[in-house]
Every structure is written in structure tokens, then in C-alpha cells.
Amino acid sequence: MPSVLVVEDDPSIRQSLIEVLTEHGYAVRSSADGFGALREVTQTPLDAVVLDLGLPDLDGGDALRMIRGISSVPVLVATARDDEREIISLLNAGADDYLVKPFSGGQLVARLSAVLRRTTHVPSTGPATGTRGAPAAHAAATSDALHPTTVGELAVDPGARTAYLAGVELRLTRREFDLLAFLARHPGQVVSKRRLLTEVWREPYVDDQTVDVHLSSLRRKLGERAAAPRYLLTVRGVGIKLVAPR
């Protein structure tokens, strides 16, 4: 069941969107303002966000940029604004699609389904091409990336996208899981924030604070603090490493 966050300040519209999406099999969470939406994005595993622009505390465009700073969750902008320059600006800022109000429930569901198909599709391996041995090397690397890892009482399974601590499943956002899975593939190895931004976020020019926000949230879910770490150790001026507690 895909999980969707509806961000809409108008109570009647918000309820209508919740009902339509629920009827079509979505697990729906909601927020009436931008900062509430940001909290949901950082704390809740989400498959998509439906974002209104006319929010009481933040302009929706600013909210979109802040979401993009901390998450790659697909965002469908739904608003009454129909200025072409603004639409282009929002798409360039990271929106995955755009709906102009009023729109039908059917159109919303169809657009949302299309966004999810595009953003969750994993291409299959094609025929061997290029340098001899490259496909085999790629397959081996992919296999390694999906191999379950255990560090202390922490078990991470990238293939199933699950993580357990002492037998209890952790509720992680998509980006938190990607971060943890990457560190778990390199246990005991100090990884720089630049490398995390390049290989996990795939956005090397994003501010390092993006990593800090996710590490802080991940630490809370692992039951630790930066001042009293157990699994996530910071090496000042170098990076972060995942270790088994002593």
C-alpha cells in the first residue's frame, strides 16, 4: 500500500483528497502547513507527497525546495496557480508533476500513479555491451549492494528494504534507509559527507547539513545521540562510520 502525504491547508479540500486516495488504496497522512509537512517527510516513510502551494506558514515553492534538501520523495504539486513560468520553476526545483485546481479525483490518482511508476521503476539488465567483463562486474556490484548485512544487533536487508535492531523493525524514511544501507555496506569504514552526498543523494553540491539532518534522525531511531553514539561514530573533520557497539 503506497504511503502518500497530502499537504493542504483547506480542511474540506484536504479531506476530499484523503478520501479519494484512500478509496484507491493509498495509505494517507496529511498536514495543513509546510513545517508539519517537513516533519512528516523526515520522520515517516513516504512514497509520494501531494503539495499545495498556498500554505499558511511557508510558500509551497519554498516548502518544495526544503523537502528536496532532505528527501528524494516524489512530489506532485497541486494548486490553483497556473502561471507557466512558475510551473517551469517548480519543475526545475524538483517537482515531479503539476496539477492545476480544480481537478478530478480520477486525474489526481492517474497523475500520482504515473509519478510512482516513473520514480520506482528499476530497469532490467540488458544484453552485454561494451568492455568484456563489464556486465559481470556490474552484476557482482549489484549483488553486493543487495546483500543483507549484520552489524552488532543491527540487520539491514537492502533487497527487502528492511532494517531491524535487536529484532525490532526500524521505521525509516526512504532516504534514511538508503543512508543506513550504504554505511552498512562499508562497516568500520569512515565515509565522508561528500561521498554520501555523491553516492546516496547523488547530488554532490547539496549542503552537508542535509546529511547531518538525516544522521540525527537516524541516530534517534537507533536509540542513540551524537554525544553518546553506539552505531554511528563521527570522526571529526573526516566523516561517519557504522560500527558494532562494544
| Residues 142-168 as b or e (16 or more Cβ within 10 Å = b) | eeeeeeebebeebbbbbeeeebebeee
Max mean pLDDT among 25-39, 71-85, 109-123, 139-153 falls in 25-39
Is it the case that residue 242 has pLDDT exceeding 50? Answer: yes
**pLDDT for the residue numbered 99:** 87
**pLDDT for the residue numbered 136:** 39
Q: Give the up-direction half-sphere exposure of residue 211: CA atoms within 13 A in the CB hemisphere.
A: 26
Average pLDDT over residues 86-95: 82
Is it the case that residue 127 has pLDDT exceeding 80? Answer: no
> Is residue 67 a contact partner of residue 213, using CB atoms and an 8 Å limit?
no
Is it the case that residue 75 has pLDDT exceeding 90? Answer: yes
Max mean pLDDT among 20-24, 102-106, 142-146 falls in 20-24
Band the pLDDT of 16: cuts 50, 70, 90: very high
Backbone angles phi and psi of 239, in degrees to 5:
165, -150
Cα-only R_g, the chain: 20
Average pLDDT over residues 198-210: 69
Residue 51 to residue 38: CA distance in whole angstroms: 11
User: Could you tell me the pTM of the whole model?
Assistant: 0.52
Beta strands in 74-184 (DSSP E): 75-79, 97-100, 149-151, 154-157, 162-165, 168-169
Q: What is the mean pLDDT of the chain?
A: 82
Is it the case that residue 146 has pLDDT exceeding 80? Answer: no
Q: Give the up-direction half-sphere exposure of residue 195: CA atoms within 13 A in the CB hemisphere.
A: 11
pLDDT in tens, 18-27: 999 999 999 9
**pLDDT for the residue numbered 82:** 76
Backbone conformation region of residue 94, classed left if phi is above 0, alpha if psi is from -120 to 50, else beta:
left
